[in-house]
Structure 1
Amino acid sequence: MARAASGGGDPARTLALLWDLDPPSPRGPRQRLRPAQVGDAAVALADAQGLDAVTVRAVAAQLGVAPMTLYTYVPGRDELLDLMVDLVHREELPALRGGWRERAEQVARERLDRARRHPWLLEVATRRRPPLGPGTIGTYERELVALDGAGLSDVERDLVVVLLGDVADGAARGGTAAGAQDADWWAASGPLLERVLDPARYPRAVRVGAAAGAEQGAAYDPGRALAFALDRVLDGVAALVAGRPPA
């Protein structure tokens, strides 16, 4: 599948697909799959091989049907992408715990974990025209619930949810960029970097980079980056609502 943004399909067909509103007619040809099964197969392919591996032919092969048959279940590639995004947001999550700040941290970490399980999500831009299926709506509701009692207005609550998502996505992108070969890269590059990085010329870069790497055990730790950013963001939210009654 070529790189694409979510929300590119026909809105009516997409919503009918996501909410499974058009069950097969009993008088038509008998269908043995549901849209979610098609989407699950596509998600499994994307998780294992990346988004570009998700083609009609590959998904059909996973399901044991002819490629053209797949269009009986999913109208097109854009709608399939929306379905994939929505399905990964339907995964079961533990109950929210603690006060609003702890709950906000929980949903941000859930977003980071989701991106780690499904790295292709970071390639899909969904904010302008999100899928609006039961998964994405349910996730949005959960994130809003997490901020109950914080004293935020409805508009502020939405903005904080967006901010938490941006922070989590940024941490996830950094972790994806580091990759599984990060340690091997540093081991191979370290001797050369020691030769070219002159502490007299780059005193702060050498000192701070060495301290951060020693503390984190790597050049970048997405979990640690998220924890630091969340503390700063939620301190700001707490200052914004200080003295307000709970909302």
Structure 2
Amino acid sequence: MVEAGHKPRRAPTEREILDAALGLLDTGGRPAASIRRIAAAVGVAPTTVYTFFPDRTAVECALIERLLGAVRIGGGGSWREAVEAIALDLRQRLVAHPGVVPLLLSGPLDGPHAQRIADCLLELLGASGLDPRSAARASYALMVFVLGAIALETFDAPRAMIGRAGPDRYLWGLRRMLDGVEAEAKLH
């Protein structure tokens, strides 16, 4: 029963719950994004969050997929330019939300958007001239570099300093990796 003068609260959306979780992750890291705190940030009881997600792990997986789903792939240009564009877009999104970085590093990236990026990288690396096995190895090495470099940039850095150095060091390392891919492709 609703008290006189009070409107019933509308049910939150999945997007609102994920927005709240992302905000908590960004400001307080993984410990801050408990189901209770997410619910409080949205202004609902924890059981309401459970109607959307069975547990905190599901919230975290949904955040990862939402972030990866926003990464732009398939731009024009050479295979190198396309790989750089993906890597730069991913860096930009993760630097903006450093609380998601530990989530990416804590488990397999096996959701549909992660798979979309992996498939695109394999296709682009195949276009470089690598055979399928070498393209798979190069894709793995690139993702290790990309996620590792982003983790080093965001971990233990004061929030005000994250991303301030710009992508120059990141691009330098990425381009050396791509130089290696080109050299390997010439051997095939």
Structure with greater helix percent: 2
- Matched with 1:172 is 150
Residue 112 of structure 1, CA deviation: 1.7
Q: 1:180 to 1:75 in 2, by over 3 A?
A: closer
Q: Which residue of 2 aligns with 1:224?
A: 168
Shift of 1:89: 1.0
Following the alignment from structure 1 to structure 2, what is the Cα–Cα distance between the partners of residues 55 and 153?
Answer: 45
Q: Is the 8 Å Cα contact of residues 40 and 87 (structure 1) preserved in structure 2?
A: no
Gapped regions of structure 1 (runs ≥ 5): 1-30, 183-219
On the 8 A contact 1:171/1:223 being kept in 2, the answer is no
CA offsets, 1:169-218, max 9 Å, x none? 23323322443566xxxxxxxxxxxxxxxxxxxxxxxxxxxxxxxxxxxx
Identical aligned residues as a percent: 26
- Name the stretch that deviates more: 36-45 or 66-75: 36-45
Distance 1:110 1:235 in 2: 20
Deviations 1:7-46 (CA, angstroms, capped at 9, x unpaired): xxxxxxxxxxxxxxxxxxxxxxxx9555454333312322
- Tell whether the 8 Å contact from 2:68 to 2:114 is kept in structure 1 after alignment: yes
Give the CA deviation at 1:125. Answer: 4.9
Equivalent residue letter for 1:68:
T
| Deviation readout 1:129-185 (Å, 9 max, x if unpaired) | 33x333222222333343341112223222222222222223323322443566xxx
The 1:128/1:42 distance shift into structure 2, 3 A limit, reads: closer
5+ residue gaps in structure 2?
1-9
Shift of 1:87: 1.3
Match of 1:237 among 157, 181, 184: 181
Q: CA 1:169–1:179 in structure 2 vs 1: closer, same or farther (change >3 Å)?
A: farther
Give, in whole Å, the separation in 1 of the partners of 2:83 and 2:167.
Answer: 15
Q: CA deviation at 1:237?
A: 0.9
Q: Return the index of the structure with the highest Cα Rg.
A: 1
1:54 CA drift (Å) = 0.7
The aligned counterpart of 2:48 is 69
One of 133, 138, 155 as aligned partner of 1:155: 133
2:32 equivalent to 1:53? yes
For 2:180, the aligned partner's letter is G
SS at match of 2:92: helix
2:149 touches 2:170 (CA, 8 Å); kept in 1? Answer: yes
SS in 2 for 1:39: helix
Counterpart Cα distance in 2 of 1:148 and 1:138: 15
- Indicate whether 1:136 and 2:114 are aligned: yes
> Over aligned residues, Cα RMSD in angstroms?
2.8
User: By how many angstroms is 1:120 displaced?
Assistant: 1.8
Q: Normalising to structure 2: TM-score of the pair?
A: 0.76
Match of 1:112 among 75, 91, 97: 91
TM normalised by structure 1 equals 0.60
Runs of 4+ in 1 over 3 A off after TM superposition: 31-37, 125-128, 177-182
| Count of aligned pairs between the two proteins | 176
Secondary structure of 1:43's match?
helix
Q: Tell me if the contact between 1:115 and 1:169 (Cα under 8 Å) persists in the aligned partners.
A: no
Q: What CA distance in whole angstroms lies between the structure 2 residues aligned with 1:242 and 1:166? A: 23
Partner of 2:7: none
Match of 1:87 among 55, 59, 66: 66
Q: 1:97 to 1:180 in 2, by over 3 A?
A: same
Say if 1:73 and 1:128 are closer, same or farther in 2 by CA, change over 3 A: closer
